[in-house]
Amino acid sequence: MAHAAPRTRGMIEQARTPDVFDARTHRMARVVLPVLTALVYGFWAAANRRYGGPITGWNLLFGFLTALVFAALFITLLTVGPKLRRAAHALAWAAFAGCAVGFLFSQSNGSIYRSVAVGVGIMAGVFLIMFYRYYTQQDAEGHPRE
């Protein structure tokens, strides 16, 4: 039978998850991930807007502009968000997610009331999840708990 190797108290107290990537990889991922997510979002918005019709130049332009705005907001939120207190940080993520989903829903020719209802529902859910995450992982000032 396999047993866990014995560890000293110091090893247990200083145990952290291993970081398998270096700092350069993390810096690149901080830009690449939002850009790839924005491209998928822009494609999705453009596909919703054309309603299964042919792809046109205006449709491509709409998709790329949507992706550009989404990426700019996403990168801004990743940069500014950690400087906010936990409630404001959670509210910023919730507003971003709610607006993004509501906008996508509005492009699929749904009513404005349903778009708002879907966006507010997503916003409430994301706020609860993110506030719980920040409340359990940070102190009141927004610093990680030790």
* Cβ neighbours for 33, distance < 8 A, ≥ 6 positions apart: none
pLDDT tens digit string along 79-97?
998 888 888 999 999 999 9
Q: Read off the pLDDT of each residue in 31-52 and give the average, rounded to a whole number.
A: 91
pLDDT of residue 14: 65
12-16, 49-53, 88-92: segment of lowest average pLDDT:
12-16
Confidence tier at 129 by pLDDT (50, 70, 90):
very high
pLDDT of residue 51: 82
DSSP letters of 35-93?
HHHHHHHHHHHHHHHHTT----HHHHHHHHHHHHHHHHHHHHHHHHGGGS-HHHHHHHH
pTM for the structure as a whole = 0.79
**φ, ψ of residue 138 in degrees (nearest 5):** -130, 160
pLDDT of residue 121: 96
pLDDT of residue 93: 95
